Amino acid sequence: MLSEILEVIGPMPVILGILLFLVAAVKHSSLFSQSSKPGRFTPVAEARQLPHSIPSKIPYVGHMMGYVRDGHSYFSSLCGKTSQPVFTICMAKVKLSLVKPELARDLPKVRHLSLGPLVLQLFRRSLNLGEFSCSLLKEEDEMSRKFAPEISRLFREEFIPNRNLRKYVEEIDVYVHREIMALEGLQTIHLEDWIFKTLVGALGKSLWGGDDGPFGAPEFVAHLRMFLMNMKQLNAPATFMIDKKLLASRSFVRERLEHFSFEKYTEKCEAGTGAIEETFLGRVQALCLEHGAAAEGWTDYQLLLIAGLSPNVMAASTWMFHHLLADPELMTQVRDEVGDCVKKSNGSIDLADMSDSCPLLSATWLEVLRFHGGFSLGRYVHEDTDLASKYLLKKGSYVLAPLRPHHFDRQSWGFAVDEFIPGRFLKANGTLDEIQRRKLRVYGVFGTLCPGRYLAVHMAMALTVRLLLAFHMAPLNASYVPPGESKDTVAGLATPEFDVEVSITKRETSYDGLKIRFKSSRQTF
């Protein structure tokens, strides 16, 4: 019996590693203390019931093994096995309440939830976070609890208004354009590797000092990719279990970020101005310093930002090309749609207007988000609280909302939910169906939405339009099907299981002068 289990789970060190990690976490962290303080009688809490608990076949570690084996789909398969709208499971000593779509509308109203402690669990080891960042993320005191909302506000104010978006989109497109020009003369690219380099590089340059910043160095981006794509291994509890190359990449990235901020800092002191406050990153840094971060804390925070904001948009864009490559007819239709649009507007395209001007391309993007949006979102419960005025969520536990049940529900999406069909986001006359779009939950279910959601789609569209118009692309393997999803993705959209090499040939119709603009005041996402 046990050997069978291990067979499905794979290499022993992984499962052992995770076990050790959780046991160590339980020992050393007060975060996991499950029992809230006994005592004060609160009639409100009295009326609430604890969610039904689902035991695992193998006591204590069964659910954890399920998660290691199946990734996030383990959680959604549990959702399918019970009629309860919310239920709890224990993974070792960690208690999770899983919330199904029936109660998702109530999630924004739940109090005493925070994201920090969950971020800490996901990234503490893999990013090698220092003590300061850990205490800030635990959000145990008033001061650190204020930090997260202030950061959120900073991001919303920076990435939601159109005038700022325009600046970022145009800047990012300059970098994307440059990478596309650099493809000329090449016969093949490694899809994911190239998209990572291009998109994460462009976003990084636009935030971190352009070509002179850390993202201006190709080896920085290469090391970053190396370690961001292997976060699960970096979570191993003991250093000897981690590939030395990964550790070296992480150190490289950390050092460059540290070095960069140091340079910025001395520049500022020499100039004797408040220049540091004038850039967005400077404002984030100022906020960190205000909350007591030292140099190390700031490096940690930069890493958290990079790990949090780049992989999703990179993964979604890569999936988009996998699906276009797997369906040449779709690829042709999308390319024609984009080409027509560019011709009609004299060699330019307005990213703010894509859902009207290129509905099929927009629908393909949305279908990528639905189809690969099978991850889970979560929060830490830092005080006893209640859900839907009915269920009690205990202090010290986590709430988890698996997104797969939202995105693969037959009642809500109708036909063939397991197939990739962009057309489900289109109306009969070919325009984009807003009602379908609103069913997506990839940007959040806890009341706040990803502040980068507009920037993400515009970046992805700029890249897709430029690449499609400049090159014919074909998989090297004639019987091409998109790769499966990696089970190792720590947060957000799963990445493809492996990278593929794709042949590229320059198209005759030249769109070299293509202008990508951001004009109209309408928002799309």
Ligand X SMILES: *[C@@H]1O[C@H](CO)[C@@H](O)[C@H](O)[C@H]1NC(C)=O
Residues that bind ligand HEM (CB under 6 A): 115, 151-152, 155, 159, 308-309, 312-313, 316, 377, 442-444, 446, 448, 450-452, 455-456, 493
Point out which residues pair with 496 in neighbouring strands. 485
Q: What residue 345 binds from ligand X, ligand HEM, none (CB within 5 to 8 A, per partner kind)? A: ligand X
Q: Residue 476 CB, nearest distance to ligand HEM (Å)?
A: 27
Instruction: Report the amino acid identity of residue 321.
Output: F
Single out the segment in contact with ligand X by CB under 6 A; choices: 89-97, 409-417, 435-443, 476-484.
476-484
Nearer Cβ to ligand X, position 346 or 411? 346
Sheet architecture: strand order including 471-475: 188-190, 501-506, 471-475
Nearer Cβ to ligand HEM, position 15 or 369? 369
The residue of the chain with the least Cβ separation from ligand HEM equals: 452
Nearer Cβ to ligand X, position 90 or 465? 465
Q: How many helices (H) and strands (E) does the chain have?
A: 24, 13
Q: Which of 67, 308, 360 is nearest to 203 (CA)?
A: 308
Nearer Cβ to ligand HEM, position 359 or 452? 452
DSSP 423: G
Instruction: Answer whether 203's CB lies under 8 Å from 172's CB.
Output: yes
Among 3, 35, 83, 346, binds ligand X (CB under 6 A): 346
Nearer Cβ to ligand X, position 344 or 472? 344
In the chain, what is the greatest distance between 2 CA atoms, to the nearest angstrom?
A: 77
Q: Residue 337 CB, nearest distance to ligand X (Å)?
A: 14
Q: Residue 375 CB, nearest distance to ligand HEM (Å)?
A: 8
Q: What residue 481 binds from ligand X, ligand HEM, none (CB within 5 to 8 A, per partner kind)? A: ligand X
Transcribe 86-147 into DSSP letters: EEEEEETTEEEEEE-GGGGGGGGG--SEESHHHHHHHHTTTTT--HHHHHHHHT-SHHHHHH
**For the purposes of burial, counting CB atoms within 10 Å of the CB of 512, is it exposed (0-12), middle (13-18) or buried (19 or more)?**
exposed
Q: Residue 77 CB, nearest distance to ligand X (Å)?
A: 25
Single out the segment in contact with ligand X by CB under 6 A; choices: 145-153, 161-169, 384-392, 475-483.
475-483
Which DSSP helix (H) or strand (E) runs through 506?
strand 501-506
Residue 479 is a binding residue for ligand X (CB under 6 A): yes
Residue 513 is a binding residue for ligand X (CB under 6 A): no
Nearer Cβ to ligand X, position 61 or 352? 352
Which DSSP helix (H) or strand (E) runs through 156?
helix 142-159
Instruction: Answer whether 225's CB lies under 8 Å from 314's CB.
Output: no
Residues contacting ligand X: total by CB under 6 A: 8
Instruction: Answer whether 224's CB lies under 8 Å from 331's CB.
Output: no
Residues 6+ apart with CB under 8 A from 44: 386
DSSP 200: I
Residue 498 is a binding residue for ligand X (CB under 6 A): no
Nearer Cβ to ligand HEM, position 48 or 138? 138
Instruction: Answer whether 245's CB lies under 8 Å from 226's CB.
Output: yes
Q: Residue 428 CB, nearest distance to ligand X (Å)?
A: 7
Nearer Cβ to ligand HEM, position 91 or 118? 118
Residues 414-433 binding ligand X (CB under 6 A) are 427, 429, 431
- Count how many Cα atoms sit within 13 Å of the Cα of residue 177 in the half-sphere of its side chain: 13
Strands (DSSP E) contained in 309-449 are 348-350, 376-381, 385-387, 391-393, 398-402
Q: What residue 446 binds from ligand X, ligand HEM, none (CB within 5 to 8 A, per partner kind)? A: ligand HEM
Task: State the residue for tokens 């991001």.
Answer: 155
Q: What residue 479 binds from ligand X, ligand HEM, none (CB within 5 to 8 A, per partner kind)? A: ligand X
Q: What residue 312 binds from ligand X, ligand HEM, none (CB within 5 to 8 A, per partner kind)? A: ligand HEM
Q: What residue 153 binds from ligand HEM, ligand X, none (CB within 5 to 8 A, per partner kind)? A: none
> Which parts of 358-473 fold into alpha helices (H)?
359-371, 404-407, 410-413, 434-437, 453-470
Binding interface with ligand X (CB under 6 A): 345-346, 427, 429, 431, 477, 479, 481
